[in-house]
Structures are given as structure tokens and as C-alpha cells.
Chains A and B, each alone.
Chain A
């Protein structure tokens, strides 16, 4: 048990010096490093938490936007459906109107054609009838149709009413050109002479008569004195045929419309 008090004092100083040295080189740096690391980890955790919160908020925003987009898409789809339906109806309506217009145009065209066809048929039938009648009269009765027509026209002039005869006379007096006589067939000279005599006898003496052939007159004779016209022809019969043809065409058109 020996205590060297000088050594004790030296050791005390040494110990205090060691405390200072270790505090300077060991505890300070180590605790500082650990504190910095803990702070850094805490900061990272905090950053991670913030990042996670941000990410969750962003995800929620994106989900919200997705829902909004879905809703908008549904709305747009419904709107497009409505527009398509409206367009379909409009086009359908336009097509219907166009079809109706075409139908009406076709009917008009048919009607026009009907008149043309009827006229054409009328002419051809008249030609046929006159030709047939001329041939029958020629073959079986030894009679010329033109001659018969001239005779008939002369008789008609003879049996004119007083009022009509006066009207024709007045017209004949007023006019300066020759009277025009148009027939559907070529008249023989005897027939022409008979008609000229009948005109001189019953309407106006000494009037000059000019003869022409016109297919439109149809089995008859038309006498034109200025503005006055006297006509006898088979057109009455042919008008009846035209009516029958028109009725046939109407029934055909209605059947075609029903089929369409």
C-alpha cells in the first residue's frame, strides 16, 4: 500500500487530459455522426411520408379525374347517340321527301307521257280506222272514204243553223285571204269540187277555197274562215278512245306505285 502522491497528481492530470482528448476525438464526433445520421433518417422518413402523402393525394386526384373523364365520356356518348339519332331521322325525312318528290315527278312524267301516248295512239288509231274504213268501203261498197267525208261535210254545210251560217258568212266577207280547208286525207278533185260548191252555195258566193292535208284533222274536214272555224271529224269517237286509254294508264300507274 504505497501511494506516490506525485504520481497521483500526475495521474489525475492525465485522466482529465484523457477526458478532454476523448471528448474531442471520440464522443463528440461519434455522437455527432450518430445524431446526424438519425436526423437524416428521420428526414428521409419524413420525406418518404410526405412523398407518400403526395402520391396518395395525386392518386386521388387522378382517380377523381378518371371519374370525371368517365362521366364526360358517358355524356359525350349519349350526346353522340342523340346526334346520330337526329341525323338518322333527318336523313330519313330527307330521303322520304326526296322519294316523294321523285314519285311525284315520276307521276307527272307519267301523266305527261300518258297525254303523249294517248295522242300518239289516237293518231295511229285514227290512221288505222280511216285506212280500214277506206279499205272496207273500197272493197265491199265500192265507195271512197274521202268522197264520203266530202259528201258528209257538204250535207253538214247545208244543214247549218241560221245563226252559225250568218257568223260564217260575216267572217267570209271580212277576210281577204282564201278560205282554208284542211282534211285528214287527200281529197279527190270531185270531192273538192263538191265541197267548193257547197261553200259557195251555203256560205259565201265566189269565195276562193285553198285545200290542204293535215293529219291532225283525223278522218274529217276543218274549214277556216278568218277567225271562224267549222270542223267535222271522227275526233269525237277518238276522244272516247283517248279517255279509255287514259283510264288504263292511270290504273297501271297506281299499280306501279303500290308495288314501289
Chain B
């Protein structure tokens, strides 16, 4: 039994192998991009709006509201990153009801890549907001003695993010595989339905946690006010 879709090689050409993780990721990317283009190419700003546009507006507005609820200032800056995390994960998970499909999020490589993206995004957004010095100062707060703990926390939460998503998605797939071998008719369907719910929840948790990390890093050092700048000049 192949636990990870990484081991499912779909094509190989001159030593380069195309595994199921990358292939299904492309499929998800294609669905998301083509679906978005299909709807947004006929956008309406008048009173009459298509159902698909309403659906997209509800999704985008929901994500913006979640970002705002977490308390991030300038929420629209984080919308592409957080929104893409959520949409990619939820689409990958929900497509698992399609026979023959293997969710890319069931691969530790994918979840690790997403966690690394978050690991990069947290300091990137923080540096963009308060500068490199301000960001590095957060590792020394509240005292320089906290530096090792802050570094460990940074790495551990990235690993926790990756393993949490991988474990949940992969476990669902594994459990369905095991139950099919034991009771092949009714229980796998129930587990698939449950998998839809857990897949949606995992996407939500991953996106919200990423946003919380970014927001907390950004809030650690408040932006210098104009008064502070003038006070430092002499």
C-alpha cells in the first residue's frame, strides 16, 4: 500500500519522475485557475450578478472577514497568501471523493512545502511591515535570553503545521484503505463523508494558524510613530 502519493510515479522521462503529488497539484491548480478565470472573465458590477460570481464573492469576502477577525491590519495584503492556502488545501481535500484521486495534501512533501511557505511568509510580511531590524528584535523580546526559545518555537510550529495537515489527510486516506479491506460496502462511504468534513476543517485550521502566526509576528513590534522618529533624530 502506497501511503504517500509521492511514491506513485505517473511518468518518468530521462530520470525525471512525475509523481501523483505534483500531477494532482497541477490538476487542483488548473481547476482553481480555470474556474476563477471562467467566472471573473464575465464579472458584473451592476445589480444583476451571476450565481458563480456570488459564490466567489462570498468565498473571498469570507476569507477577508476571517483575516479581519484575527485582527490583522491591512487584511487585503494577506488575502492572496492566506486565501490561496485555504482554497488549495480545501480543494485538494474535497476532491478526494473522486475515485482514483489522491489528495496532494496527503503527501508530507506538500504539507512541508506549505509549512515552509508559511515559515518564509511570517518573517517576510513582518520585515515588509517593520523592517529587518524590527523583525530580528522580536527574537530578543522580551529578553535576549528568550532567543533560543523563540528560534525553537519558530521551527516547531512550522513542523507542527506540516505534520498536522499531513497526519489528518493521510490518516483519512489510510483509514479508508484499511476499512475497505475489512468492510468494503458501507463504512468507506461514511468515512469519505467524514473525510470531507475533516478536510475542510483542516484547510480552515491551516489557513487560520498561518494568519495567526503572521499577525502575531507583525503585532510583536508596533510600527514606529512619527513622534518616535523625530525624537530619535537629535
To the question of whether A and B form a pair in one complex, the answer is yes
With A22-B32, A33-B45 given, is the CB distance from A27 to B79 under 8 Å?
yes
B179 contacts chain A at the CB level, 8 A cutoff: no
A3–B84 alpha-carbon span in the complex (Å): 23
- Nearest opposing residue in chain A for B16, CB measure: A6
Contact B116 A12 (CB under 8 A): yes
A-B pairs with beta carbons under 8 A, tally: 112
Q: Which residues of chain A from 189 to 241 have a CB within 8 Å of any chain B CB?
A: none
For B21, the closest partner residue in chain A by CB is: A7
Which chain A residues numbered 30 to 46 have a C-beta less than 8 Å away from chain B? 30-31, 33-34, 36-37, 40
Does B110 lie within 8 Å of A37, measured CB to CB? no
Whether B125 is near chain A, meaning CB under 8 Å from some CB there, is no
On chain B, the residues within 8 Å of A3 by CB distance are: 108-109, 112
Q: Tell me the bound Cα distance from A10 to B37 in angstroms.
A: 24
Stretch of A13-21, A142-150, A164-172, A252-260 contacting B (4+ beta carbons < 8 Å): A13-21
B113 touches A19 (CB 8 A): no
Measured between beta carbons, the chain A residues less than 8 angstroms from B88 are 15, 18
A103-133 at interface with B (beta carbon < 8 Å): none
How many A residues are at the interface, by size bracket? 20 to 34
- Chain A binding surface, main DSSP class: helix
Interfacial chain A residues near B22, Cβ < 8 Å: 7, 10-11, 14
Q: Contacts of B76 on A, CB cut-off 8 Å?
A: 31
A158 at the interface (CB under 8 A from B): no
Instruction: Point out the residues of chain A lying under 8 angstroms from B60, CB to CB.
Output: 26-27, 30-31, 34
User: Are A11 and B21 CB-contacts (below 8 A) given A2-B4, A22-B87?
Assistant: yes
Greatest chain B CB density within 10 A among A1, A8, A40 is at: A8
Size of interface on B: residues with Cβ below 8 Å to A:
41
Q: Chain B contacts of A8 at CB under 8 A? A: 109-110, 112-113, 116
Indicate if the CB atoms of B33 and A21 lie closer than 8 Å.
yes
A26 contacts across to B, CB distance below 8 A: 32, 36, 40, 56, 60, 83
Q: Is B207 located at the chain interface by the 8 A CB criterion?
A: no
Is residue A23 contacting chain B, with contact meaning CB distance below 8 A?
Answer: yes
**Cβ of B29: which chain A residues have Cβ within 8 Å of it?**
14, 17-18, 21
Q: From residue B206, how far is it (CB to closest CB) to chain A in Å?
A: 12
Contact of A15 among B40, B107, B117 (CB under 8 A): B117
Residue of A nearest to B83 (CB): A27
Q: Do the beta carbons of B33 and A27 come within 8 Å of each other?
A: no
User: In the bound complex, do residue A40 and residue B45 qualify as a contact, i.e. CB atoms below 8 Å apart?
Assistant: yes
A9-B53 Cα distance, complex, nearest whole Å: 33
Whether the Cβ atoms of A27 and B117 lie closer than 8 Å is no
Question: Once the chains bind, are B33 and A30 in contact (CB under 8 Å)?
Answer: no
A242, B224: Cα distance in complex, Å? 139
- With CB as the reference atom, state the residue of chain A lying closest to B38: A25
Please report the C-alpha to C-alpha distance between residue A5 and residue B108 in the assembled complex, in whole angstroms: 10
CB atoms of B25 and A11 under 8 A apart? yes
Chain A min CB distance to B155 (Å): 15
Looking at the assembled complex, report how far the CB atom of B121 sits from the nearest CB atom of chain A, in whole angstroms: 10
Say whether B171 faces chain A, with CB atoms less than 8 Å apart: no
Say yes or no: is A139 at the interface (Cβ < 8 Å to chain B).
no
Across-interface contacts of B21 in A (CB, < 8 A): 4, 7, 11
Is residue B214 contacting chain A, with contact meaning CB distance below 8 A? no
Q: Is the CB of A19 within 8 A of B81?
A: yes
User: Which residues of A lie under 8 Å from residue B114 when comparing CB positions?
Assistant: 11, 15
CB distance from B19 to the nearest CB of A (A): 6
Q: Is A29 an interface residue (CB 8 A)?
A: yes
Q: Are A22 and B80 in contact (CB under 8 A)?
A: yes
With a cutoff of 8 Å between Cβ atoms, the chain B residues found around residue A7 in the complex are 6, 19, 21-22, 107, 109-110, 113
Whether A22 lies near B45 (C-beta < 8 A) is: no
- The answer to the question of B26 belonging to the interface, with a C-beta cut-off of 8 Å to chain A, is yes
- Nearest B residue to A35 via CB reads B45
Instruction: Please name 11 pairs of A and B residues whose Cβ atoms are closer than 8 Å in the assembled complex, sorted by A.
Output: A4-B21, A14-B113, A15-B84, A18-B32, A19-B81, A22-B80, A26-B40, A26-B56, A26-B60, A34-B61, A37-B45
Query: What 8 pairs across the A-B complex have the smallest Cβ distances?
Result: A11-B113, A29-B40, A7-B109, A26-B36, A25-B36, A23-B80, A12-B113, A36-B45
- A interface list, Cβ under 8 A from B: 1-5, 7-12, 14-19, 21-23, 25-27, 29-31, 33-34, 36-37, 40
Which residues of B pack against A, CB within 8 Å?
4, 6-7, 19, 21-22, 25-26, 29, 32-33, 36-37, 40, 43-46, 53, 56-57, 60-61, 76, 79-81, 83-84, 87-88, 104, 107-110, 112-114, 116-117
Known contacts A18-B33, A34-B60, then 5 further A-B pairs from the complex at CB < 8 Å, ordered by chain A residue: A3-B108, A11-B22, A15-B88, A17-B29, A30-B60
